[in-house]
Structure 1
Amino acid sequence: MTNTANLLVVDDVHAGYIKDLNILQGINFRIAPGELVVVIGPNGAGKSTLAKTIFGLLTPNQGSITFKGQNIVGLRSNQIVQRGMCYVPQIRNVFGSLSIEENLEMGAFVRSGSLANLKEQIYTMFPVLKTRRKQQAGTLSGGERQMLAMGRALMLDPDLLVLDEPSAALSPILVSNVFEQIKAVNSLGKAIILVEQNAKRALELADRGYVLENGRDRFEGTGKELLGNPKVGELYLGAAYKADD
C-alpha cells in the first residue's frame, strides 16, 4: 500500500492503551507532502489515539506506519522528530513557566547554530508572539497558547505537523483565528494532520478528510465530498446540517 508520493502511510494499524484492547482496529490513512488532511468523528472514535500512534507515543500491535518511505514503528518520539515530524497535543502544549521566546528556543532542541532567523519567521507568522516574547507562556490566552505551540513545533522546520484538537475549549473568535493560522502554516508547504471536533470548519479548509468510527476509517474523501455526503452530515455534522449551509 505504501506509495512514494505519500509523505506518510498508515496501513491496517491496530493500537490501544491496554494490551489486547485495541482502540484502532485496522486504520488506513495517508497524507501527501503539503496536504492538509482532517480527521473527524465522534468522541471515542480513535482520533487522538491515531495521532499519538503516528507520533510514536503508542506502538501499534499490528500494521505499519511509514514516513518518507521508512518504517517508523517502534521509534521513539524524539527520533521521529529528527526525521521531520512534530506533534502539538491538545493540552499541556507549552512550558507555562518559560517565556514565549524561551518556549520557541526549546522547540529547536535538536537544531544547531543560530535560531534568530527561525524565530523571526515565527514572529512574522504570529505577530502577537513577538510583541509579548518576554511574557510567561502560562499567562497567555487559550488561542495565544495554540499559536505558541504551533510556533514552537515550526522551529524544527518539520515536513509534517500533527495537530490534536487545536480549537478545543476556545471561543468562536479564537477558533477562527486558530483555523486561519493553520491555513497559513499549510500555505508554507507544510503537511498537516488536523484532528478536530469542529468538523464542519475543519473540512471547509481541508484538502482531504477521514471520518473515524469505532476505531475504523469509515469515510474518506476531499473536504468538499465529505461536507456534501448526507450520511456524514447526518452522523457527524449535526442533524440540521445541509451541504449548502
Structure 2
Amino acid sequence: MLDQQNAPLLEVENVWAGYIKDLDILQGINFHILPGELVAVIGPNGAGKSTLAKTIFGLLTPHKGNITFKGEKIAGLKSNQIVKRGMCYVPQIANVFPSLSVEENLEMGAFIRNISLVSLKNKIYDTFPGLANRRQQKAGTLSGGERQMLAMGKALMLEPDLLLLDEPSAALSPVLVGSVFEQIKQINQSGTAIVLVEQNARKALSMAHRGYVLDTGCDRITGNGQDLLNDPKVGELYLGAGMAH
C-alpha cells in the first residue's frame, strides 16, 4: 500500500506549454505522482498526453506554471540535467539505437554512470529475459515488443526514481501489449514510480494506482484507477471503441 502522506515525487502546477508561441496545448494542467506510484494519463488524441510527458522531461519549456521534482523546481532545465536528478523518459518512437546491439543499447542508457555496468545489465536481463538471449543482436532486427522492452531496459540502466513511458503499447499486437504491460507492472512493483501515457485506456487504468483524464490540455477528471475505469462518465466519453482495445 502506498503511503499517501508522502510528499509528491513530481508535481506539475498550473502548467501552460506548447510547440508554437501563443498556441498552448497544455492549458493550466495540474498533476502529481507519489514515490512508487503508477499513474496513468489517458484521454482522446490531441488531449496533450505526450505534450505533458515532454514538458515534464524538459523537451518543452512551460510558458507558465511550476514543475517540481524531489522538491526542486525543474521547469526550464534541459533533459540531460533532469536525467541526472533521477528521471528517465521512453518516447513512443525512435527509442533505441537500431544499428547497435541490445547490449550496446543498454550501455548507452547508462552513459552518465561511471561504474561497472555488469550487475546492472544482468538485472535488466533478469527483468526482460527475452533480451538476454539477444544481447548481441542488432536492436533494429527486434520485434516491436522486444524493442519496447529494450527501450525500457535502457532507461532503467540509470535506476531512475521516475520513469515516463509515452504510449508503450502503440502499434503492438494484443499478445505483445499484454507482455509489455506485465513488465511495466513488475518495474513499478520493484519501486520505480511510473507515469504511463497510454491510448489503451482500459488496460492502463486497470493497473494504475491513480489516473488522470486529459482533454483539450486540462486535467478533466482524476481519481483511483479502478474508480475511473468504473465511472460511467469516463466510460462514455473516454473508453469508447477508439480507446478500448
- TM-score, length basis structure 2: 0.96
Partner of 1:176: 178
Once residues 226 and 162 of structure 1 are traced to their aligned partners in structure 2, the CA distance between those partners, rounded to angstroms, is 21
Partner of 1:229: 231
Once residues 225 and 105 of structure 1 are traced to their aligned partners in structure 2, the CA distance between those partners, rounded to angstroms, is 40
Partner of 1:187: 189
Which amino acid letter does the alignment assign opposite residue 78 of structure 1?
Answer: N
SS at match of 2:175: helix
Q: CA RMSD in A?
A: 1.5
Partner of 1:89: 91
For residue 178 of structure 1, report the CA deviation from its aligned partner: 0.4
The Cα offsets for residues 186-227 of structure 1, whole Å up to 9 and x where unpaired, read as 011000000000000000000000000000000000101101
Alignment of 1:194-233 (within 5 A): 194-233=196-235
Once residues 94 and 83 of structure 1 are traced to their aligned partners in structure 2, the CA distance between those partners, rounded to angstroms, is 22
For residue 241 of structure 1, report the CA deviation from its aligned partner: 10
Once residues 81 and 190 of structure 2 are traced to their aligned partners in structure 1, the CA distance between those partners, rounded to angstroms, is 24
Tell whether 2:27 aligns with 1:25.
yes
Alignment of 1:1-245 (within 5 A): 5-238=7-240
Which amino acid letter does the alignment assign opposite residue 159 of structure 1?
Answer: D
SS at match of 1:120: helix
For residue 131 of structure 1, report the CA deviation from its aligned partner: 0.5
The Cα offsets for residues 214-244 of structure 1, whole Å up to 9 and x where unpaired, read as 00000000101101111100011117999xx
For residue 98 of structure 1, report the CA deviation from its aligned partner: 0.1
Gaps of 5+ in 1: none
Once residues 190 and 238 of structure 2 are traced to their aligned partners in structure 1, the CA distance between those partners, rounded to angstroms, is 30
Once residues 161 and 41 of structure 2 are traced to their aligned partners in structure 1, the CA distance between those partners, rounded to angstroms, is 18
Q: Percent identity?
A: 73
For residue 4 of structure 1, report the CA deviation from its aligned partner: 6.4
Alignment size in residue pairs? 240
- TM-score, length basis structure 1: 0.96
Which amino acid letter does the alignment assign opposite residue 140 of structure 1?
Answer: L
For residue 60 of structure 1, report the CA deviation from its aligned partner: 0.1
Which amino acid letter does the alignment assign opposite residue 218 of structure 2?
Answer: R
Once residues 240 and 162 of structure 1 are traced to their aligned partners in structure 2, the CA distance between those partners, rounded to angstroms, is 23
SS at match of 2:131: helix
Which amino acid letter does the alignment assign opposite residue 87 of structure 2?
Answer: M
For residue 130 of structure 1, report the CA deviation from its aligned partner: 0.9
